[in-house]
Amino acid sequence: MGVFKMPPQIVRLVLLTVAIVGSYLMARTVLTPPSFRQYGWYRGEALVELASRQIVFAGKPACEICHDEEFRKLAKGSHKGLSCEGCHGPSQAHSDDPDDLAVRPKKEPFSTCTRCHEFNVSRPKWHKQIVTRTHYTGDKCTDCHVPHSPTEVP
Amino acid sequence: MKSEISRRDILGGLGAVMAGLATLPLARTAKAAVQKLAVSANAPKGYDPTQHRWVMGIDINRCIGCGICVEACKTENHVPMGRNYFRTWIERYIITKPKPGTGAARGEVLVESPDGGMHGFSDLPVPAADVLHSFFVPKLCNLCEHSPCVQVCPVGATFDAPDGAVLIDPEYCIGCGFCIQACPYGCRFLNPFTRTAEKCTLCYHRITRGLKPACVEVCPTQARIFGDLKNAPPEDPIRQFYQDNRVQALKPFLGTDPRLFYAGMDKEVR
């Protein structure tokens, strides 16, 4: 009996298997983003990308930097819990460049008040509501109410 | 005919391939560094997702159905206008009086959400005299602990972030729509412009900068409460919310274990 010789078909099979598995592993290394399994089965970079989007609403503290007068007024009345941008609209652009008139929040229309205060049967009872038609026949809510301090008469 | 390729050539080629492979990790590190530099230009500094646990609560008794949150969400996240695309929306539940003589305690349940409640709610679909009671329910991603949407994603594009947000990687999403089918709360949609799935991200670009999500920021009645369970002091609104209310999650029988809790929820809400 001579020394054992690996049959050539087995050698070829082993080489082929190694080549296939090797190329798969290589392709996976190249194609998988580096941050893929940083936190789990997804791209960790996606978190950073999602976090890098631009802000549109500046948030109440940003308004207070310049408009502290309005804040003092607001803090006394029942509208103290309201966010500025709920009525005045998104203001990040205005806070970035306060002098740019194009992005300055506009004057609020009548619907700003009625959006919350028009009577609706689905609204909770604790919320102050009016039926505009019977409440006042005049022109503007601000004839009788100060929006930043609703109980005050102008 | 004798082959032109010698054993030496093959061995040499193999050696070159091995050397090339050895540089791969180096190239990957470089690529990662370049990518990181490219994406983190606008990214908030010093935010570690493993150090936060964001949760949200909704107090139904405080919602007045004004729709400012829906509008703010659309503006902040550039959600396409149109009545099928919402990351958050408001539903109006109307429970009618029982039909006389039936002996039932309550009548029919009607649910409506015209334009997602963005422009408010006006006319009742039934005569006001027939309404037993009616209320608004803001809806958004339920922040499931066991998210069906994440389980079905075939490409690893949607995931539970370590900080509790359930997010979508727009680069990886192939727009197959499995997650939209899977979400039992109907919180996802296919963006018609990007052709990728979209959902509430808890305003990820805002919370990572220390701001509140846009809907929470603008809500005039504090019906939406948002906080970080890992870092909230006892007087934080989110802790107060859990303390002061008996809370409930939507569709608890599904085992999704949502982290979005509702206070003052009616049994008909689903």
pLDDT(B159) > 90: yes
Chain B: nearest CA to A1, how far in angstroms? 30
Model pLDDT for residues B13-55, shown as the tens digit of each residue: 888 887 877 777 777 777 777 766 666 667 788 899 999 999 9
Residues of chain A with pLDDT under 50: none
Q: Is the CB of residue A59 less than 8 Å away from at least one CB of chain B?
A: yes
**Per-residue model confidence (pLDDT) at position B55:** 94
The arrangement of strands across the sheet holding B131-139 comes to B109-112, B89-96, B131-139
Q: Using CB atoms, pick whichever of B21, B65, B204 lies closest to residue A122.
A: B65
Q: Is the CB of residue A42 less than 8 Å away from at least one CB of chain B?
A: yes
The domains located in chain B, with CATH, are 49-88+200-263 (3.30.70.20)
Question: What residue of B is the nearest CA neighbor of A119?
Answer: B122
Q: Is the CB of residue A133 less than 8 Å away from at least one CB of chain B?
A: no
Report how far apart, in Å, the C-alpha atoms of B265 and of each of B57, B95, B138 are. 12, 13, 11
Question: What residue of A is the nearest CA neighbor of B200?
Answer: A50
Chain A: nearest CA to B253, how far in angstroms? 27
Q: Is the CB of residue B40 less than 8 Å away from at least one CB of chain A?
A: yes
- Residue range B67-73: mean pLDDT, rounded: 95
Residue pair B249/B257 in contact (Cβ under 8 Å)? The answer is: yes
End-to-end, the C-alpha distance of chain A in Å comes to 115
Residue pair B249/B136 in contact (Cβ under 8 Å)? The answer is: no
**Per-residue model confidence (pLDDT) at position B38:** 64
More confident site: A107 or B143: B143
Percent of chain B surpassing pLDDT 70: 96
Provide the residue ranges of all domains of chain A, joining segments of one domain with +.
60-143
Residue pair A116/B252 in contact (Cβ under 8 Å)? The answer is: no
B contacts of A35 (beta carbons < 8 Å): 32, 35
**CA pair distance A127, A117, nearest whole angstrom:** 8
**Per-residue model confidence (pLDDT) at position B31:** 73
Q: Out of B4-8, B64-68, B243-247, which region has the weakest mean confidence (pLDDT)?
A: B4-8
Q: Is the CB of residue B76 less than 8 Å away from at least one CB of chain A?
A: yes
pTM, full prediction: 0.87
pLDDT-based confidence at B72, cuts 50/70/90?
very high
Decide: helix, strand or coil at residue B168.
Answer: strand
- Residue range B130-149: mean pLDDT, rounded: 95
Q: Which helix (H) or strand (E) holds B73?
A: helix B68-77
In this prediction, the answer to ipTM > 0.90 reads: no
B contacts of A59 (beta carbons < 8 Å): 206, 211-212, 217
Model pLDDT for residues B210-226, shown as the tens digit of each residue: 999 999 999 999 999 99
Give Cβ neighbours of residue B172 (< 8 Å, ≥ 6 apart): A42, A43, A46, B155, B156, B157
Mean pLDDT computed over every residue of chain B: 91
Q: Is the CB of residue A128 less than 8 Å away from at least one CB of chain B?
A: no
**Per-residue model confidence (pLDDT) at position B123:** 82
Do the chains contact at B161 and A39, CB–CB below 8 Å? Answer: yes
Chain A: nearest CA to B185, how far in angstroms? 22
